[in-house]
Structure 1
């Protein structure tokens, strides 16, 4: 995946790979970094074979080819190869922004492509798990996406139980909307929801005050989910101020001010699989009491009865 993401940027120079490399040092270009691989023998002695090439179509260059490539592209300030369609001004702007981000241009471009790829797959309800794992393995961080869910969240049996409910991407139901509304009213919070935690996203079966009805408007990437931690433990999650919580303080839903205080009760089936939560949250710190927890637990039981008896 790492080479695939930057292959387009190396297309013009890729023709050099067709030239025979005799006994010279072979180098791999990976996101603008060099790594000496091995001595390459004459093709008359042994067929051409590059370390890692069968799996990754590695771009390998002789020392002379590397020097020539740099000479042709240094004027763009873009590492090894220019981007097709970019003029000098665009290359200069690209190099400037990459420098401000503390990245090489190749790494900057690869991260941008990876982020777009993840967004497109998520929007089309594709499975981003393998994609994210490959990007992570290639050393490409994708802001806004967790690199690996908790093992409990990713457990195949739990996921089967989740999908068996038939509620993922299902139309909104008045019964669940009423439970979320009752939770918000009973605990005097601006937000409440019945949530389902999938492997790479969180889906809202119901949300107090939510305007959107389509499945696309009722989901978020898993990295915005606070509910995933209640699902992972199978226990109520009580958070007074997420901004100072060592686990939650960097969660995007916390950093953008959506969630400060949080209380969530996991929804657990007969097989002891937590598939989601009934949760409430506030934009200010809250000292939750045992009364709050018990009230939300009773309402969560109503949601569980409906989900698992259907």
Structure 2
């Protein structure tokens, strides 16, 4: 599959088209990774958050119209208030066009955003306004068949320099997690 850049709309760029989504959803079901939280993936996200020092960390499986955080670590501090005075809740499901992981999945490579406001394509993303996300680091989960299942990622509410060592560690963790996922599916055992 070749990477197709997002289509421009009124000067903004949309989430890229994902032609592999139907096959990915099928593969996720075969691996037992449908839209359900997994305690082992929550523990993985907690470890990733501690390792990177980021308040948010996720194991994210990207479907045709939504993303599902099977592993999730969120800060104890609530996101900023909306203009109407309400607070958004960070759940396990987000629309596909929210966030940065769908870009990682289609690109098939890691994405490092030290300050999302520096990139017009990403600065207007709903997670920037809703949750105050300012920096992001994500790596694809590529299985042995070459299918991108989703991502592992960390996000912060402050701009930050992630650095090459952290990027390489996150990429290695993603590769290790895919091995665990496939071994678990083969053996019929939980992660």
TM-score band by shorter chain is: 0.7 to 0.9
Structure 2 match to 1:296: 170
Aligned equivalent of 2:27: 161
Using the alignment, how far apart are the partners of 2:131 and 2:92 within structure 1?
A: 19
The structure showing larger relative contact order (alpha-carbon pairs under 8 Å, at least 6 residues apart) is 2
Shift of 1:179: 1.1
Unaligned runs of 5+ in 1: 1-147, 212-216
Judging changes above 3 Å, is the alpha-carbon distance between structure 1 residues 153 and 208 closer, same or farther for their aligned structure 2 residues?
farther
Label 1:155 to 1:182 Cα distance change in 2 as closer, same or farther (>3 A). Answer: closer
Task: Give the distance between the partners of 2:29 and 2:132, measured in 1 at CA.
Answer: 28
Partner SS for 2:97:
helix
After the TM superposition, which residues 14-163 of structure 1 pair with which residues of structure 2 at under 5 Å, given as runs? 150-152=16-18, 154-163=20-29
Q: Which residue of 1 aligns with 2:128?
A: 254
* Cα deviation digits, residues 173-211 of structure 1 (max 9, x gap): 332122111111111110101000111101000111479
CA distance in 1 between counterparts of 2:62 and 2:149 reads 6
Please state whether the residue corresponding to 1:161 is helix, strand or coil: helix
Runs of 4+ off more than 6 Å: none
Is the 1:158–1:275 contact (alpha carbons within 8 Å) kept by the matching residues of 2? Answer: yes
Counterpart pick for 2:107 among 219, 233, 257? 233
RMSD: 2.2
Aligned residues: 158
Instruction: Give distance in 1, aligned partners of 2:95 and 2:17.
Output: 17
Q: Which of 130, 140, 163 is matched with 1:266 structurally?
A: 140
Higher percent of residues as strand? 2
Match of 1:180 in 2: 45
Of 281-290 and 297-306, more deviation after overlay is shown by 297-306
Structure 2, unaligned runs of 5 or more:
1-13, 77-90, 186-191
Secondary structure class of the residue paired with 1:166: coil
Kindly name which structure, 1 or 2, has the bigger radius of gyration based on alpha carbons: 1
1:190 to 55, 76, 88: 55
**Following TM superposition, by how much is the alpha carbon of 1:236 offset from its aligned partner in structure 2, in angstroms?**
0.5
Structure with greater proportional helix content: 1
1:220-274 CA-partner distances (Å, limit 9, x unpaired): 1112131000001110011111122121111100123432100001001122111
Is residue 149–residue 200 contact of structure 1 (8 Å, CA) maintained in 2? no
Inter-partner Cα distance in structure 2 for 1:225 and 1:168: 20
User: Structure 1 residues 208 and 194 mapped into 2: Cα distance closer, same or farther (>3 Å)?
Assistant: same
| Contact 2:21-2:63 at 8 Å conserved across structures | no
